[in-house]
Amino acid sequence: MIQIEHIIRDLHLVRDKSPLVHNITNFVVMNNTANALLAVGASPVMAHSCDEVAAMAAIASSLVINIGTLESAWVESMLIAGRTALEKSIPVVFDPVGAGATPYRSKVSREIIEVCKPSIIRGNASEIMALDNRDAHTKGVDSVHSSDAALEAARTLSRQTGAVVVISGERDYITDGNRVEIVDNGNPMMGRVTGLGCTATAIVATFAAINSNYLEAATHGMYIMGITGEIAASMSKGNGSLQMNFLDVLFNLGEDEIKMNIKL
């Protein structure tokens, strides 16, 4: 069972240790992701060259692999970095952006899962269902299914891969194939800001860097995302100000705000 004190403990650990989070991510979200990681207290690095990803992954505290803007050379980098992280027992968090939208994305997603053996997979409902080979459709990289509809697929995917699976949506589900945690914090406006799902992946990777219980780490990260987004939305006029307010709220988030806003 998730405890507020453990979420607060892990947030303090992130800020004390400032883990290095290596991101091989997409062009659209690099700046947003780096700023969110700085705001939560982590140390971000965006490195995707085949010439350095092995060395960077080897010194990182966690690795994010995000296929948002796929390109064949980047896939090679992802596989190199993922193998390195696996060899060194560094957690890999995989974001299968748009899996199911094209055969190439689905193929690459399965290859990354097979080779890199991610500790955590975070996606929207359609992406998770596609990875479980279910009849799922996406609208570009957006889900056309509710998170509830993907829960059984997430359980199956978790059992097949050994990864904790996170479904993001109006309600977030986190499962290790047996246990299921639910996060109800958040705001619908978050879905109108480019890359907040990718930010969630990076925040989850930050918590995985300091907590080897990956079900707990992923759930804690999703609570921090949801609480931050909910507070930020309450002071925003639209998605532009939400993006700015999200970073400010995340930077200043503390014990009192967590206790006042968490929905357990």
Mean pLDDT, range 84-108, rounded to an integer: 96
Mean pLDDT, range 34-54, rounded to an integer: 98
User: Is pLDDT of 26 > 90?
Assistant: yes
Contact present, 40 and 16 (Cβ < 8 Å): no
Would you state the pLDDT for residue 134? 56
For residue 64, give the nearest of 31, 105, 27, 26 by alpha carbon.
26
Q: For the whole model, what pTM was predicted?
A: 0.95
Would you state the pLDDT for residue 140? 46
Q: Output the domain CATH number for residue 52.
A: 3.40.1190.20
- The whole-chain average pLDDT of the chain stands at 95
140-187 pLDDT tens trace: 444 445 788 999 999 999 999 999 999 999 999 999 999 999 999 999
Domain that holds residue 67: 4-261
- 42-46, 93-97, 132-136: which range is least confident on average? 132-136
Mean pLDDT, range 60-68, rounded to an integer: 98
Max Cα distance, the chain (Å): 47
Q: How confident is the model at residue 135 (pLDDT cuts 50, 70, 90)?
A: low
User: Is pLDDT of 40 > 50?
Assistant: yes
H or E element at residue 17: helix 4-17
Would you state the pLDDT for residue 253? 98
186-211 pLDDT tens trace: 999 999 999 999 999 999 999 999 99
Going along the chain, which residue ranges are E strands?
20-24, 43-46, 62-66, 92-95, 120-124, 138-139, 142-143, 164-168, 172-175, 180-183
Mean pLDDT, range 50-79, rounded to an integer: 97
Domain count, the chain: 1
Tell me which amino acid residue 199 is. Answer: T
